[in-house]
Chains A and B, each alone.
Chain A
Amino acid sequence: MKRIGVFVCHCGTNIANTVHCDQVAEVAKDFPGVVYSCDYKYMCAEPGQQLIQDAVREHNLDGYVVAACSPRMHEPTFRKCAERAGLNPYMIEQVNIREQCSWVHADKEKGTEKSIDLLRMAVAKARKNEPLSSSTIPVTKRALVIGAGIAGIQTAIDIADNGFQVTLLDREHSIGGRMAQVDKTFPTLDCSACILTPKMVEAAQHPNIEMVTYAEVTAVDGFVGNFDVTIRKKARYVDFDKCTGCGACQEKCPKKVSSEFEMGLGPRKAIYVPFPQAVPNKPVIDAEHCRYLLDGKCGVCKKICPTEAVDYEQKDEVIVERYGSIVVATGFDQFDISKYEEYGAGRYPDVITGLHLERLMNASGPTAGKIKRPSDGKVPEKIVFIKCVGSRDEAKGRPYCSKACCMYVAKHATLIKEKMPQSKSYIFYMDVRTGGKSYEEFYKRTQEQYDGQYIRGRVSKIFQVGDKLIVRGEDSLIGRPVEIEADLVVLAAGMEPRADAVALARTLGISYDQHGWYTEAHPKLQPIETHTAGIYLAGVCQGPKDIPESVAQASAAAVKATGLLSKGELTSEAMIAECNEAVCAGCGLCISVCPYKAIEKKKVSERVHGQMKERVVAVVNPGLCQGCGACTVNCPSSAMNINGFTNEQILAEVDALCQR
């Protein structure tokens, strides 16, 4: 019979306030198999671990149970402690009497009772523990970065600089993302393109970076160290090997389409480069609008192309590539302002968003940098900014703060005053949130030097009278309704997850919150990691951020990804499935439910009544199995077991609970 030790932790007062730890330790002494039991203030601390190791040696323990916090917190600690005491690390159990007991109960007697029950079960399980060992799997030394905005670009450059191969993938024709649409950046007001384009070019020319644009991830198989990623490269209808980017096709194309990059404020052609600094700077054909692809007429671009690069026959291409790690940097969508019907958003052309204004201010934008209202091209004099549109608004389904708007509105007000000294900006706000280096100072300058009139209150209604927009709000500081006759209204539309963020999360197998932002493994201590090993997050796809924050997170993600790639091999999970071939019927149900494709069929020969017979059984690939247990619960003959969580062990726990 195994000799089991029990160690009950007080966790200071965290557990001891709601659980009589000494009583628990005392009762445990009578559990079958327990030869030693004690309690201590901090089991995870150095003296606590020493106490455990001494007890293991002194009482010749085969295994032990620690009643403490969540195994997520300290299981690795206590496994290592076991190793130092000369035990196989899988001979121990940790039972959670903190998160699942003391923190959620108020009654000390009941808390004690529950702790005893939890411990009783763990001891029953520990008695059936067997030594386990892990194996190793090789790592594919190559990373995939999904999304090539500033976060994705920075991640790719950092990984590449560290000497690893990276694929930088984007679904748009050009890399650059949202930052490419922005005119100037806060708090320094340097031109966005001037700081972004060198990075875009660097990414494109880096020997370790393979740039794959106009492509999407459609499937991800495999696991940390070896992800098999299916990528669909959309047809461009232009042969990039032949195209020189001369631009003749773009000039001659007769089909005008509203430009997505210009937020619908200007036109583009059906064969086009989205913006002048685009990388790659070669055109693609928009199949939805191309006259030739739609009804076989036109063909001007093909005729005019001097290098015969236009190829209407091109098809989408699907490839599968293997990567050791993946960084997700898919960014955000701007909140759809038409949900604010009270602001006439979507009905009035002069009620625009921050991104629209960026394009109107940009020298290469549709107005060549002159701010003109979309409706009639008039230069606006009175401009109203409304903050928290699609942010901090539960009624519109967006309760969170989008974080960057307070600063970008201050930036807009500043730049407008600089461009048009006769103009006046009115800014409706609820709170001004300018946490960040040099941010508050910037806000102050907006009021002090750039005449920004801040009004505390949320606007209730905007309506048009003649060519003016009447903005009606309350100045909540004076407590009276106010009205402004504006020429232009800029809504500081918040950030929301990409419309297909959830679909990509499902493809990748990563988690997301109720809004669709990707969830980090720990809100404070693991803000880069996802719950899925080998997949990391960078930029706004994890939650609203501004550029500096996105870049910081991008470099962090690069470190995480290279850290993984720099390992030659990974230690595989020890608590994985194993098939008892003697009872396996070979039905294959486990194969169909395994999310990691870790189970295969194999033939075994055996002697039955003196004759050799062949039979099919399941076999688990230890490199792929993650120990999720889906196979064990589906196995009709109970042949599948998770090592360290066998059916026998689970039943022993149930028995211990029922037989108390």
Chain B
Amino acid sequence: MKYGFYPGCSLHGTGIEYGMSTTVVAKKLDINLVEIPDWNCCGASSAHNTDPLLAKALPARNLALAEQYGLNDIAIPCAACYQRLKMSELAVQKEETREEISEIIEMNLKGKARARSILEVFSNDLSEERIREEVVKPLTGLKVACYYGCLLVKPPEVAIDSTEHPLMMDRIITTLGGTPVEWDYKTECCGGALSLTRVDAAVMMTAKILHYAKLAGADCIATPCPLCTSNLDMRQKAAEKALGISINLPVYYFTELMGTAFGIAPNELGLDKHFVEAKSLLQNISAPAGQ
């Protein structure tokens, strides 16, 4: 299976471990991710807060590049990038918009490229059996709060799963032998967009999510989004202070958990690159298969 790959800026920086784990896990599952040559930034919320045209045009250049290289299925790990590319993809289905955007990016856009989240690719294009085949260290006993954030499921037109109660990641965790916990903060916003401009608000929003994950009895949180992860992980200390309680929940990219269950070495997955210490929980839990 071959896909265009759009890592996005975060995976080259703060979300480096998401990129590392996605790459090795995909390889293990025989998914061929071909990085879109010379891709550019999707513009994120700054673009759509500034100009609706710019918000469509910046991702559209990547869609056009993907089309040029015959990579019509674009797998995107970052939830924010996914939403921006998907919005642009949907907008350019309208001929009028497609022509306008083609003019702006000075490239011929056919509207054929499809933006897809890597979570949805793993969930829909692979059978549960295929994933199970690779599991050598099942996550037995690991209670995981699957946190989807906003951008993969909202607004409804871009949603890869239920906007209120998604289950895609939960199913993967189950396949890996882990136990997803039942909780209701799966798609509440972590305040990622406010992470730098309104740290106080972002910390409060993050704190609520961490609090409810803890109440649900989770050992850790799994996410498909670098913005969420950096908030939940990097700002966990601040959140603990705001809540006045200890949280101590490692925050993993779901691909890191997949990789762990597949028996990939922690450092290859980037497990050493977390703020809340993340290696020991998985070391303790992952017992060799058959035990």
Contact = CB atoms under 8 A, between A and B. Distances in A.
Q: Do chains A and B touch in the complex (CB under 8 A)?
A: yes
Interface of A: 341-342, 344, 347, 461, 463-465
Given A463-B184, A464-B184, A341 B163 contact: yes
Nearest to B216: A465
A341 B215 contact: no
Contact of A344 (B163, B184, B185): B184
Given A341-B164, A461-B184, 12 more contacts: A341-B162, A341-B163, A341-B165, A342-B164, A344-B165, A344-B184, A347-B165, A463-B184, A463-B185, A464-B184, A465-B212, A465-B215
Interface string B134-172: 000000000000000000000000000011110000000
A433 B162 CA distance: 33
Which of B162, B163, B184, B215 has most A Cβ within 10 Å? B184
14 contacts: A341-B162, A341-B163, A341-B164, A341-B165, A342-B164, A344-B165, A344-B184, A347-B165, A461-B184, A463-B184, A463-B185, A464-B184, A465-B212, A465-B215
Main secondary structure of the interface of B (DSSP, over half): loop
A329 B184 CA distance: 42
Contacts of B165: 341, 344, 347
A461 B164 CA distance: 9
Contacts of A463: 184-185
Interface of B: 162-165, 184-185, 212, 215
A460 to B, nearest CB: 11
Contacts of B185: 463
Contacts of B163: 341
Contacts of A344: 165, 184
Contacts of A347: 165
Contacts of B212: 465
Q: Closest 3 A-B residue pairs measured CB to CB?
A: A463-B184, A341-B164, A342-B164
Nearest to B166: A341
A341 B184 CA distance: 11
A341 B164 CA distance: 6
B285 to A, nearest CB: 26
B159 to A, nearest CB: 11
Nearest to A462: B184
Nearest to A346: B165
A347 B162 CA distance: 14
A344 B182 CA distance: 12
Contacts of B215: 465
A464 B181 CA distance: 13
Nearest to B188: A461
A465 B164 CA distance: 17
Nearest to A340: B164
Nearest to B184: A463
Nearest to B163: A341
Nearest to A465: B215
B177 to A, nearest CB: 24
Nearest to B212: A465
A274 to B, nearest CB: 33
A342 B184 CA distance: 9
A628 B151 CA distance: 55
Contacts of A461: 184
A344 B215 CA distance: 18
Nearest to B156: A395
A579 B59 CA distance: 68
A465 B185 CA distance: 11
Contacts of A342: 164
A465 B212 CA distance: 8
Contacts of A465: 212, 215
A461 B183 CA distance: 13
Which of B162, B164, B165, B185 has most A Cβ within 10 Å? B164
A341 B162 CA distance: 8
A241 to B, nearest CB: 52
A463 B162 CA distance: 16
Nearest to A342: B164
A461 B165 CA distance: 12
Nearest to B162: A341
Nearest to A347: B165
A344 B185 CA distance: 12
Nearest to A470: B184
Nearest to B165: A341
A465 B184 CA distance: 9
A111 B144 CA distance: 72
B204 to A, nearest CB: 13
Nearest to A395: B156
A342 B186 CA distance: 11
A479 B247 CA distance: 32
A394 to B, nearest CB: 13
A386 B40 CA distance: 47
B168 to A, nearest CB: 15
Nearest to B164: A341
A1 B190 CA distance: 86
A325 B215 CA distance: 63
A464 B212 CA distance: 10
Nearest to A466: B215
Nearest to A343: B164
B229 to A, nearest CB: 23
A341 B156 CA distance: 13
Contacts of B164: 341-342
Contacts of A464: 184
A464 B183 CA distance: 8
A464 B165 CA distance: 13
A467 to B, nearest CB: 13
A342 B163 CA distance: 9
B150 to A, nearest CB: 14
A463 B164 CA distance: 11
A497 B252 CA distance: 47
A346 to B, nearest CB: 10
A653 B100 CA distance: 49
Nearest to B211: A465
A289 to B, nearest CB: 30
A463 B187 CA distance: 12
A464 B185 CA distance: 10
B76 to A, nearest CB: 25
Nearest to A344: B184
B89 to A, nearest CB: 23
B166 to A, nearest CB: 10
A339 to B, nearest CB: 10
A234 to B, nearest CB: 37
Nearest to A341: B164
A378 B196 CA distance: 46
A463 B186 CA distance: 11
Contacts of A341: 162-165
B90 to A, nearest CB: 18
A461 B189 CA distance: 13
B147 to A, nearest CB: 14
B211 to A, nearest CB: 10
A171 B164 CA distance: 37
A341 B186 CA distance: 12
A465 B208 CA distance: 13
A365 to B, nearest CB: 29
A38 to B, nearest CB: 53
B146 to A, nearest CB: 15
B180 to A, nearest CB: 14
A347 B185 CA distance: 15
A461 B187 CA distance: 12
Contacts of B184: 344, 461, 463-464
A342 to B, nearest CB: 5
A49 B185 CA distance: 74
A388 B212 CA distance: 29
B134 to A, nearest CB: 31
